[in-house]
């Protein structure tokens, strides 16, 4: 049996790269192999050995023939371009205590980026900063990964998020078929979001809805009267939690059902992540579930071995 890192512990790690690595390593310790494949390198050229080069890249056969040291150079090839679309809306900054949805989503994105990059795929990021779209094109390599994770780490939840636009623009900017992973609570305009995800899927992208919610907003665990402040609009309403809870849960379940049904209808992957679930557990379950499904026609696909 393997022990999982609690979301609280993972979220408490300041270094997002380390947190992502811990999640990915924890996911792998369960006996599962990497769900991503397609790592390949293509020989490019020889160059004279320089001090500091890794000895494993020395071409010993050439050394035997020519008595000179040459280092082999490779060109890394990627199979997929993965674009992470991260929701930065204010509603992601919930709950007040413990792991927020946004931090959970940050670690999730970082872990996915780490995983994807580790498999030699290109990974990019689409989000908004100060009301403007921020796009980091998908690339491979450690340097890019670190840069992307550092950028992710600097992000904070705020207003000005435009989900449909981010998805549409990200799908456009992907030059070839890729994977679009939308990490959000999907509280934006439902119809617009679905439309853009459907369009992205129609372009041939593999689109996935990774819905991040907290247990508190699923259950409305308040007692008696409570003043609720809408994180996005700032509106404050006094509600009798005991009275509205049932209707709230019905509405929430209906919303989740709509999301799931729309994703199925539009050929979009759907997975619900709750912040109470250890990230590596949730991620492993998602990837296994994803691997078990047949690849969608005309779309890029990450598959597990």
Binding footprint of another protein on the chain (CB under 8 A):
91-96, 101, 185, 187, 214-215, 217-233, 235-240, 242-249, 251-252, 255
Residue 15 vs 191, nearer CB to another protein? 191
Please state the closest distance from residue 198 (CB atom) to another protein, in A. 22
Please state the closest distance from residue 274 (CB atom) to another protein, in A. 9
Residue 5 vs 213, nearer CB to another protein? 213
Please state the closest distance from residue 157 (CB atom) to another protein, in A. 10
- Asked whether 134 and 92 are in contact (CB, 8 A), the reply is no
Give 268-287 as a DSSP string. -EEEEEETTS-HHHHHHHHH
The candidate with the shortest Cα–Cα distance to 271, out of 184, 187, 208, is 208
Residue 36 vs 187, nearer CB to another protein? 187
- Asked whether 186 and 212 are in contact (CB, 8 A), the reply is no
- The separation between the first and the last C-alpha atoms of the chain, rounded to the nearest angstrom, is 22
Please state the closest distance from residue 291 (CB atom) to another protein, in A. 28
- Asked whether 278 and 6 are in contact (CB, 8 A), the reply is yes
Residue 70 vs 94, nearer CB to another protein? 94
- What the block records as the tokens of 232 is 């996005």
Task: Please say whether the dihedral angle defined by the alpha carbons of residues 147, 152, 153 and 158, taken in this order, is positive or negative.
Answer: positive
Residue 188 vs 280, nearer CB to another protein? 188
Please state the closest distance from residue 262 (CB atom) to another protein, in A. 17
Residue 57 vs 237, nearer CB to another protein? 237
Residue 14 vs 227, nearer CB to another protein? 227
Please state the closest distance from residue 91 (CB atom) to another protein, in A. 4
Please state the closest distance from residue 237 (CB atom) to another protein, in A. 5
Residue 100 vs 119, nearer CB to another protein? 100
In angstroms, the CA 29 to CA 5 distance is: 12
In angstroms, the CA 110 to CA 147 distance is: 11
The candidate with the shortest Cα–Cα distance to 293, out of 261, 268, 266, 265, is 268
Label residues 50-82 b or e (16+ Cβ within 10 Å = b).
eeebeeeeebeeeeeeeeeebbbeeeeebbbbb
- Asked whether 173 and 137 are in contact (CB, 8 A), the reply is yes
The candidate with the shortest Cα–Cα distance to 17, out of 101, 88, 106, is 106
In angstroms, the CA 165 to CA 88 distance is: 13
Please state the closest distance from residue 81 (CB atom) to another protein, in A. 31
- What the block records as the tokens of 210 is 């990774």
């Amino acid at each position: 049996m393997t022990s999982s890192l609690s979301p609280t512990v993972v979220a408490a790690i300041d270094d997002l790269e380390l947190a992502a690595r811990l999640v990915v390593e924890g996911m792998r310790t369960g006996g599962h192999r990497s769900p991503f494949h397609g790592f390949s390198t293509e020989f490019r050229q020889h160059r004279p050995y320089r001090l500091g080069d890794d000895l494993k890249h020395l071409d010993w056969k050439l050394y035997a023939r020519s008595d000179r040291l040459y280092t082999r150079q490779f060109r890394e090839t990627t199979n997929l371009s993965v674009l992470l679309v991260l929701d930065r809306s204010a509603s992601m900054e919930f709950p007040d205590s413990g792991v927020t949805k946004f931090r959970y989503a940050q670690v999730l994105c970082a872990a996915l980026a780490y995983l994807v990059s580790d498999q030699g795929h290109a990974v990019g990021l689409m989000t908004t900063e100060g009301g403007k779209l921020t796009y980091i094109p998908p690339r491979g390599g450690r340097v890019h990964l670190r840069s992307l994770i550092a950028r992710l780490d600097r992000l904070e939840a705020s207003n000005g998020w435009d989900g449909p636009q981010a998805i549409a623009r990200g799908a456009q900017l992907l030059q070839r078929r890729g994977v679009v992973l939308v990490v959000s609570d999907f509280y934006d305009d439902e119809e617009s979001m679905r439309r853009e995800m459907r369009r992205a899927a129609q372009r041939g992208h593999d689109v996935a809805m990774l819905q991040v919610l907290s247990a508190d907003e699923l259950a409305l665990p308040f007692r008696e009267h409570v003043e609720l402040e809408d994180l996005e609009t700032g509106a404050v309403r006094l509600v009798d939690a005991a009275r509205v809870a049932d209707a709230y849960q019905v509405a929430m379940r209906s919303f989740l059902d709509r999301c799931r049904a729309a994703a199925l209808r539009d050929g979009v992957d759907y997975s619900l992540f709750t912040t109470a679930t250890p990230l590596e557990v949730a991620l492993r379950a998602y990837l296994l579930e994803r691997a078990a499904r047949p690849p969608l026609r005309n779309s890029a696909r990450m598959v597990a071995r």
